């Protein structure tokens, strides 16, 4: 970064100096290329003008910039005018311009979102796609301290905890951009926020730069909560404290510091509670945690799996904590759910558990001896006769050796059915298959996916566990049949205790 050789004089130069400091605080380096989000309003316009003044292009030892504008189609001709304004400004500045458009109202209806949420979702999806395609360090937005103060007040009205009261960070990694296949999270830089710049300062900078930014008429529409805070609440608070914006920003910084400390402790505790690489957590370990810390741990667990805590409210957190005591599952935002068995909990999406070694479905299939059946996920189950009988101690949990006489020439493979009974190896009588699964501490959400090998209508092998007592190889046998399950696209989990 170029170093200032003298103290800046005048508001215009002071603004440039502040933006330069903000860029440095955001950790951007000379080798970075930066995408600037431009709406055409005073904040983003001031940011672009300042960056162009400070960083006029490649070869200057500073980040190169390009611009992105998303047309939300919410204000008819005015939206089109904003896009043309941004395009023309970029042409004047000689800055590459990326644009996209989309039907926000249709997106909101299709996804059950508010108009504001849908607009933000589509906008950031466009930014993330552009960042990924062109290799930018991230996207820079024009958020100011006024935006931060409004964000904090909105969070307070919703009963937010420390995380909500922390507001926006100067640098954020967005892992929750939906509907995109990108190689890494998108980084959002907020240099104006990092520099403590206000909306009044951005408007003044545009004026001294000879630039007239666009005016978004929807910013005065007080049907939006943020606009009511901006135009009605903040003026009243300034009558109490003229520096209320600075006070709210300080509150956010204090909350962020406290939250980061708790987050660090929660992450350490969460790591200790994990029982496998897929995020399964020990109930016993979690129940030793204080009731004050536990909510933070389950929120961190959700973020670890999903990439975000967005949409997670107190009712979800309470339900997750309660599931440690009793219950089978609780539903969470975005189609996620937390599921529990006798000693562990896991967060999965729908029926897709990456730790499950079994296929998604098991239709009735005939397995010849010798032969093989293939499941939808690429996993297989094979049968072949072997001689001599192998050393049982060398078998894995995915292999089973059975009597050749019992196997015959053809077996059936299917999933469990109502009324299934099983005589596990070593037992003199049958038991309900459901009871066998419970005794084996088998996750309940896996049980419909387990391939069962059937001979003459009876369960011969519960894949991955035990064979039937009546299918054992006689002591004087010279040959046997070996069954082997090979996993498909799923990863083998740590063995359940």
Q: What is the pLDDT of residues 98-127, one digit of tens each?
A: 999 988 989 888 888 888 888 988 999 999
Give the pLDDT score at 283.
93
Same fold across 10-246 and 365-486: no
pLDDT tier, 370 (very low <50, low <70, confident <90, very high otherwise): very high
At residue 366, the pLDDT reads: 95
Strand partners, 366: 412
Note the pLDDT of residue 181.
Answer: 53
Closest among 314, 379, 317, 377 to 347, alpha carbons compared: 317
Of the listed ranges 55-64, 78-87, 129-138, 299-308, the one predicted with least confidence = 55-64
Q: Which runs of consecutive H residues, i.e. helices, occur in 55-76?
A: none
Cβ–Cβ < 8 Å for 316, 333: yes
pLDDT digits (tens, 9 = 90+) for 415-455: 999 999 999 999 999 999 999 999 998 899 999 999 999 99
Task: Name the percent of the chain lying above pLDDT 70.
Answer: 93
Mean pLDDT of the residues in the chain: 89
Mean pLDDT calculated for residue range 409-415: 95
For residue 473, the 8-state DSSP code is: P
pLDDT, tens only, 323-363: 999 999 999 988 899 999 888 999 998 888 888 899 988 88
* CA 462, 466, 470, 471 torsion-angle sign: positive
Res 228 pLDDT > 90 = yes
Between these two residues, 493 and 165, which has the higher pLDDT value?
A: 165
**pLDDT one-digit tens code per residue, 25-47:** 999 876 788 999 999 999 999 99
For residues 289-317, give the mean pLDDT. 89
- pTM (predicted TM-score): 0.71
How does residue 299 score in pLDDT terms, banded at 50, 70 and 90?
very high
Using one digit for the tens of pLDDT, what is the confidence trace for 66-80?
Answer: 999 999 988 888 889
Q: CA–CA distance from 380 to each of 352, 450, 486, 489, 493 (Å)?
A: 19, 12, 5, 11, 17
- Architecture of 274-349 per CATH? 2-Layer Sandwich (3.30)
Query: Which CATH superfamily does the domain covering 10-246 fall into?
Result: HUPs (3.40.50.620)
pLDDT band of residue 63 (cuts 50, 70, 90) is low
Higher-confidence position of 210 and 494: 210
Is the pLDDT at 1 greater than 50, yes or no? no
Neighbours of 90 (CB within 10 A): 21
List of E strands, 353-415: 365-368, 371-374, 380-386, 399-402, 410-414
Bridge-based pairing state of the strands 480-486 and 399-402? antiparallel
Euclidean distance between CA atoms 307 and 415, whole angstroms: 33
* b/e sequence 422-441, b meaning 16+ C-beta within 10 Å: bbbeeeeebeebbebbeeee
Q: What pLDDT digit, counting tens, does each position of 252-285 carry? A: 999 999 999 999 999 999 999 998 888 889 999 9
- DSSP tally for the chain: helices H, then strands E: 17, 20
Sorted by where each begins, the domain ranges of the chain are: 10-246, 274-349, 365-486
Closest to 454 (Cα-Cα) out of 464, 444, 467: 467
Which class is domain 365-486? Answer: alpha beta
Whether residue 104 is preceded by a cis peptide bond, meaning omega within 30 degrees of 0, is no
Binned at pLDDT 50, 70 and 90, residue 176 comes out as low
Phi, psi (deg, nearest 5) at residue 385: -85, 140
């Amino acid at each position: 970064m170029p170093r200032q050789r003298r103290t800046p004089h005048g508001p215009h130069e002071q603004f440039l100096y502040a933006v330069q400091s903000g860029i440095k605080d955001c950790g951007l380096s000379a080798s970075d290329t930066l995408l600037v989000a431009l709406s055409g309003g005073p904040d983003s316009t001031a940011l672009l003008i300042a960056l162009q003044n400070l960083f006029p292009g490649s070869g200057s030892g500073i980040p190169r910039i390009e611009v992105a504008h998303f047309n939300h189609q919410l204000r008819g001709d005015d939206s089109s005018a904003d896009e043309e304004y941004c395009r023309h400004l970029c042409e004047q500045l000689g800055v590459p311009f990326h644009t996209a458009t989309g039907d926000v109202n249709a997106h909101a209806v299709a996804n059950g979102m508010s108009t504001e949420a849908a607009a933000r979702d589509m906008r950031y999806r466009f930014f993330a796609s552009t960042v990924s395609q062109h290799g930018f360090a991230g996207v820079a937005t024009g958020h100011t301290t006024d935006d931060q103060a409004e964000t904090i007040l909105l969070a307070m009205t919703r009963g937010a905890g420390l995380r909500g009261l922390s507001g926006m960070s100067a640098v954020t990694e967005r892992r929750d951009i939906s509907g995109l296949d990108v190689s890494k999270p998108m980084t959002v830089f907020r240099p104006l926020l990092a520099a403590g710049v206000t909306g009044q300062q951005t408007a003044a900078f545009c004026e001294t730069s000879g630039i007239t930014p666009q005016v978004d008429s929807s910013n005065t529409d007080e049907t939006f909560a943020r606009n009511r805070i901006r135009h009605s609440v903040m003026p009243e608070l300034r009558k109490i404290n003229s520096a209320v914006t600075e006070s709210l920003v300080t509150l956010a910084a204090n909350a962020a510091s406290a939250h980061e400390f708790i987050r660090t402790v929660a992450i350490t505790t969460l790591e200790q509670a994990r029982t496998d690489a897929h995020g399964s957590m020990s109930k016993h370990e979690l129940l030793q945690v204080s009731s004050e810390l536990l909510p933070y741990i389950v929120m961190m667990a959700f973020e670890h799996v999903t990439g975000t805590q967005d949409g997670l409210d107190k009712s979800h957190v309470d339900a997750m904590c309660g599931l440690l005591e009793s219950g089978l599952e609780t539903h969470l935002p975005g189609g996620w759910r937390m599921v529990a068995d006798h000693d562990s909990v896991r967060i999965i999406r729908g029926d897709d558990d990456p730790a499950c070694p079994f296929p998604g479905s098991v239709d009735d299939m005939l397995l010849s001896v010798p032969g093989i059946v293939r499941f939808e996920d690429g996993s297989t189950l094979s049968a072949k006769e072997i001689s001599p009988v192998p050393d049982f101690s060398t078998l894995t949990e995915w292999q089973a050796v059975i009597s050749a006489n019992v196997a015959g020439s053809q077996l059936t493979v299917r999933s469990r059915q109502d009324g299934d009974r099983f005589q596990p190896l070593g037992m003199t009588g049958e038991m309900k298959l459901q009871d066998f699964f419970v005794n084996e501490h088998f996750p309940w959400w896996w049980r419909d996916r387990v391939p069962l090998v059937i001979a003459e209508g009876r369960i011969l092998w519960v894949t991955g566990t035990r064979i039937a007592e009546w299918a054992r190889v006689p002591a004087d046998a010279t040959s046997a049949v070996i069954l082997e399950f090979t996993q498909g696209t799923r990863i083998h989990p740590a063995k359940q205790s």
